Amino acid sequence: MSPRDEIERLLAAEARAGLDEAASEAASRFAERAAAEGAAEVAYAILDTPVGATSIAATPRGLISVGLPNRSLDDFLTELATRISPRIVEAPGKLDEARRELDEYFHGAREAFDLPLDWRLVPGGFYRKVLRATSHLPYGATLSYGDIAERAGNRRAHRAAGTALGANPIPIVVPCHRIVRSAGSPGNYGGGPELKRWLLTLEGALPAEGNGEDAPVSG
Amino acid sequence: MSAVSAREPFQSFLDEHRSAVLAFLRAMVGPDDADDCFQETFMAALRKYDSLDGANPRAWVMTIARNKAIDHHRARARRPLPKAELPEAVAPAPPERNPELWEAVAELPEKQRAAVTLRFAADLRFREVAVAMETTEEAARRNVHEGLRKLRGHFPSEEVRS
């Protein structure tokens, strides 16, 4: 090897010694600081839950999005980057309270959330009325699509209510899983019908076993 | 308040460039101060993320990093007081496998040091080195060439091999 190549190789090797780990730690510190100072407009974290990895994101206004395990992180972040701001960092520290409350919920140790919410991903008007009404439903209670449409001001708009619930950006915390087609036939869910059953079972709204046949999945 | 663009999330940008930026800054300001400059570099990048549009992201962030390194040296020259410790943890121990090499790099004139480091430690192409240093590709090549020539003077091939 010529000395010419050698000095170049040495520069590269020296520069990389212990580099990736140090850069990863420096980047984590940066992300937490950027979120704490508000320079980053969105902070996110990935939460391990009994049903899989769940992404959560918050802005200074509050929790803005929950990505259930069937949703890719890419898709979750792209929506936030496009609709809120590309200034997004992974800063679990900024989401300590939300992570704690969700963890307790998934382990049956919490029935209500005490988190400020950022509603900006929900269109105004009827959609927002539906999700706000849904956010007040108590643990373990269920309503039909017609019932929630009525609470939002228009009983006949049960299909629009279904669409609003299907586009709920903050599932679990805004408990759209509590809106069901009928007892024993919960219906569709953004996170998948199995997850809806799992959540209703956790809350005692469905019996733990032998709850009838699976309903055909539809909107 | 929606300066909406379809740009990728900042976290992806950070993940993609963090190692190269730290490698560059270690060589420019030394491992002890590299972390502070790293924090300042990405904070500045985050604040003006909108202006990245259309630019080469690697060269763009290196322009900021180089300016932070230059600011750092100026601040040091002006105020040789011991710097107050930041509350954050300090960067892990630097690579000490070949301190002579880093001493030799540190002795290079700033432009040569930046050019050599951008080219070989941060792995930029000459075209990107030129953009990062806000100069021509020819000048970037010349600075890399001159820097390397001086480093080779410090390191005859036998020593380098050891």
Taking only the tens place, the pLDDT of each residue in B97-136 is: 677 888 899 899 999 999 999 999 899 999 999 999 999 9
CATH 3.90.1300.10 fits A126-202, yes or no: no
Instruction: Give the mean model confidence (pLDDT) for residues A46-60.
Output: 97
Spans of all domains in chain A: 34-121, 126-202
Q: What domains can you pick out in chain B, each with its CATH number? A: 10-161 (1.20.140.160)
Q: What is the pLDDT, as a whole number, of residue A3?
A: 56
Residue pair B59/B24 in contact (Cβ under 8 Å)? The answer is no
Summarize the confidence of residues A3-22 as an average pLDDT. 84
Q: State the Cα–Cα distance between residues B4 and B140, nearest whole angstrom.
A: 36
Tell me whether residues B10 and A86 touch, CB distance under 8 A: yes
pLDDT score of A170 more than 70: yes
Please, which pLDDT band fits residue A17 given cuts at 50, 70 and 90? confident
Q: Which of 3.30.479.10, 3.30.365.10, 3.30.980.20, 3.30.160.70 is the CATH number of A34-121?
A: 3.30.160.70
pLDDT band of B95, cuts 50, 70, 90: low
Beta carbon pairs, A and B, within 8 Å: 139
The answer to whether the CB of A33 falls within 8 A of the CB of A71 is no
Instruction: Residue B147: name the closest of B116, B125, B106 by CA.
Output: B116
Closest CA to B28 of B72, B91, B93: B72
What does chain A come to in residues?
A: 219
- CA-based nearest distance A5→chain B, Å: 10
A204 residue type, one letter: G
Average pLDDT over residues A179-206: 91
| End-to-end Cα, chain A, rounded Å | 67
Across A67-75, average pLDDT:
96
Mutate to test the interface with A, among B11, B18, B150 (most CBs of A within 10 A): B11
Which residues sit opposite A143 in a β-bridge? A179
Per-residue pLDDT tens over the stretch B7-53: 899 999 999 999 999 999 999 998 889 999 999 999 999 999 999 98
Q: Supply φ then ψ for residue A87, to 5 degrees.
A: -80, 75
Q: What local confidence, expressed as pLDDT, does residue A113 receive?
A: 97
- In sequence order, the 6+-apart residues with CB closer than 8 A to the CB of A120 are A59, A61, A64, A83, A84
| Closest-CA residue of chain B to A2 | B157
This prediction's pTM: 0.84
Q: Is B60 exposed, middle or buried (0-12, 13-18, 19+ CB in 10 A)?
A: buried
Q: What tokens does B48 get?
A: 């003006």
Contact between A155 and A118 under an 8 Å Cβ cutoff? The reply is no
ipTM: 0.86
Tell me what pLDDT residue A183 has. Answer: 66
pLDDT greater at residue A144 or residue A184: A144
Please tell me the predicted confidence (pLDDT) of residue B5: 43
| pLDDT category of residue B96 using cuts at 50, 70 and 90 | low
Average pLDDT rounded to a whole number, residues B45-70: 94
Q: How far is Cα of residue A138 from the mean position of the Cα atoms in its chain?
A: 19
- The reply to whether A5 touches chain B by the CB within 8 Å rule is no
pLDDT of B89: 39
Res. A211: pLDDT tops 50: no
Residue A74, chain B, CB below 8 Å: the answer is no
- Residue B49 has a CB neighbour count (10 Å cut-off) of 20
Residue in chain A closest to B154 (alpha carbons) equals A7
Annotated active-site residue A176? The verdict is: yes
Could you check whether A34-121 and A126-202 share the same CATH topology?
Answer: no
